[in-house]
Structure 1
């Protein structure tokens, strides 16, 4: 029978593979969106099958790890955290698929002026930077790096919140841009949601390393603690 350490190493490697796969999906979705590249968008949509298959495999292997080894302490936290990380990564892949689906199904060229004003490129860059932080935090089990994503997520939230007013202004000034701004709004919502999922992953890394559950910690006034 496979030893606990061997099984844990295999699970850890599978988690890293899932992380790298989902990062590539978002990178390709970004490139397809800005270049209006339908072929690359189709590739992202096709690769979603691989993401889903790996998601199911990791989930089954986590269940098997628990059944075979009856883990405790850090080993138990590891497998519980990995299951949640895997779930959130699969959803990151879903959003990359959704962005690519827009490109394939909605043939709308976006004015560069609108892209810049709604800060769409900044959103993608920030989300990918957050995933870089998560990759380092995951491989090094570094909670300090994991905590970097909380501040970056505020950038995504700010862009998302400001998009409502920008859309209103643009449509009032020129109703013909409504298709463009609504597509941008849909993409912004997906990237903002990706940011939320990445912060979830950061919280799971911190939980595994420090046995600290951040989502239930509150600041004075009832707000969630960010770091």
Structure 2
């Protein structure tokens, strides 16, 4: 096996490990949010250091491959895609940490769990599942080198984005009708935005998978062109 191929395989394993860390952090953040569990939330915040270190390791490995092995064609596209995927995964980790910090602050301030009606109208649990599912699906597309599967991410991301818009409208109505619950409404709004941001990063990763596999650049293209 050529040295370049060995390094590419090592890089794939590193990205797989990074994905596992980020998905684990996201799931734990969602669990901490649902249970207002400060212990789990602290673990999520602490895990962020491991993700940051992994991001730097992958970045250096990509730079070394380019500098020492001068990859071309699909190998070069793979390394360039990994550089951007790596950044997107780290940003998902940041979003998970932000959700966990909300839990910690809520417990510290002695706040009550979210109002059941607010949870229902904001579809928080559904959006949590969508965000995690989208990240799992794009990981599958990356590891199977399946660009058709990656294109499904744009539809899944649109569903999450639509729920984000509906949640914004529902939360605004909730705040208007429950002026004493403004703080809860605003906190829910921030969390919903973090989940929508995770969806955006999932779509960014899908673009990189398609670039890597099909040598097609989708950035700044319309939805119809993305789905072709």
Aligned counterpart, 1:106: 106
1:188 aligns with 2:192: yes
Partner SS for 2:170: helix
- Give ranges in structure 1 of 5+ residues lacking alignment: none
Aligned counterpart, 2:177: 173
Deviations 1:43-99 (A, max 9, x none): 000000000000000000100000110111111001000000001000000000000
1:40 aligns with 2:44: no
TM-score normalized by the length of structure 2: 0.93
Aligned counterpart, 1:53: 53
Aligned counterpart, 2:156: 152
* Contact 1:215/1:224 (8 A) holds in 2: no
Partner SS for 1:106: helix
1:120 aligns with 2:124: yes
CA distance in 1, matches of 2:133, 2:147: 16
Match runs of 1:1-227 below 5 Å = 3-107=3-107, 108=111, 109-218=113-222, 225-227=225-227
* Contact 2:118/2:171 (8 A) holds in 1: no
* Contact 1:216/1:224 (8 A) holds in 2: no
CA distance in 1, matches of 2:169, 2:220: 32
Query: Which of structure 1's runs of 4+ aligned residues deviate more than 4 A?
Result: none
CA distance in 2, matches of 1:164, 1:66: 44
Deviations 1:6-35 (A, max 9, x none): 111000110111111101111000000011
* Contact 1:147/1:202 (8 A) holds in 2: yes
* Contact 2:121/2:171 (8 A) holds in 1: no
TM-score normalized by the length of structure 1: 0.94
- How well do the aligned residues superpose, as a CA RMSD in angstroms? 1.4
- Give ranges in structure 2 of 5+ residues lacking alignment: none
C-alpha displacement of 1:162: 1.9
Partner SS for 2:219: helix
